[in-house]
């Protein structure tokens, strides 16, 4: 790895557990996935996050900002984001938070407004994710299992565009 290589590790907590993505800038997707733990437990999720950070040695960590007025989140998600923030500071890795509004603002520039449209735009940029494309969601359906991957990638891409 070159000294000036930037590795972004993004985490997007959700009801199932955690979506994650690791990108080596400018556009090399190293890994992505969903960590689902049953029963859901922040301690176990934080253990997994620790392993990700040790393995990928990121330059930057990006997480969902739950403080925004538009954000609906559980107390568990807020506590997990705070734990990730604390851990990143202990490891001396810069951490950034982005809200849903910031993600939407960035992706609106590319004609993507809904989560499904954002996922399709990400698949356009990273065609290797086509097999994990989320199904179009109806109002009565649960969110697709793989949506956490696209949420985490949207965070990383948002960071890229807001810091350039």
pLDDT tens, residue by residue, 48-94 = 999 999 999 999 999 988 876 555 667 888 889 999 999 999 999 99
Residue 152 lies in a domain: yes
Question: What is the spatial distance between Cα 52 and Cα 54, in angstroms, rounded to a whole number?
Answer: 6
CA angle, residues 77, 27, 150, in degrees to nearest 5: 35
Residue 109 lies in a domain: yes
Q: Is the separation of the CB atoms in 83 and 50 below 8 Å?
A: no
Q: How many CB atoms lie within 10 A of CB 131?
A: 8
pLDDT in tens, 6-60: 899 999 998 888 999 999 987 789 999 999 888 888 899 999 999 999 999 999 9
What residues make up the domain containing 27? 7-163
Residue 70 lies in a domain: yes
> How far, in Å, are 14, 55, 98, 140 from residue 104 at the CA level?
18, 30, 10, 23
Q: What CATH number is associated with residue 159?
A: 3.30.420.10
Please give the tally of structural domains in the chain: 1
Residue 2 lies in a domain: no
Residue 1 lies in a domain: no
pTM for this prediction: 0.90
Residue 80 lies in a domain: yes
Q: Is the separation of the CB atoms in 22 and 30 below 8 Å?
A: yes
């Amino acid at each position: 790895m070159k000294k000036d290589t930037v590795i972004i590790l993004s985490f997007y907590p959700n009801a199932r557990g955690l979506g994650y993505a690791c990108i080596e800038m400018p556009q090399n997707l190293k890994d992505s996935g969903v960590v689902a733990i049953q029963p859901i437990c922040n301690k176990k999720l934080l253990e997994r996050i620790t392993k990700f950070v040790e393995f990928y040695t990121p330059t930057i960590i990006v997480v969902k900002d739950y403080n925004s007025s538009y954000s609906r989140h559980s107390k568990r998600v807020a506590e997990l984001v705070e734990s990730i923030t604390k851990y990143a500071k202990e490891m001396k890795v810069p951490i950034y938070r982005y809200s849903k509004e910031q993600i939407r603002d960035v992706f609106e520039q590319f004609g993507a407004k809904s989560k499904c449209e954002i996922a399709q735009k990400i698949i356009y940029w990273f065609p290797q994710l086509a097999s994990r494309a989320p199904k179009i969601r109806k109002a009565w359906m649960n969110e697709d299992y793989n949506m956490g991957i696209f949420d985490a990638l949207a965070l990383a891409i948002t960071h890229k565009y807001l810091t350039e």
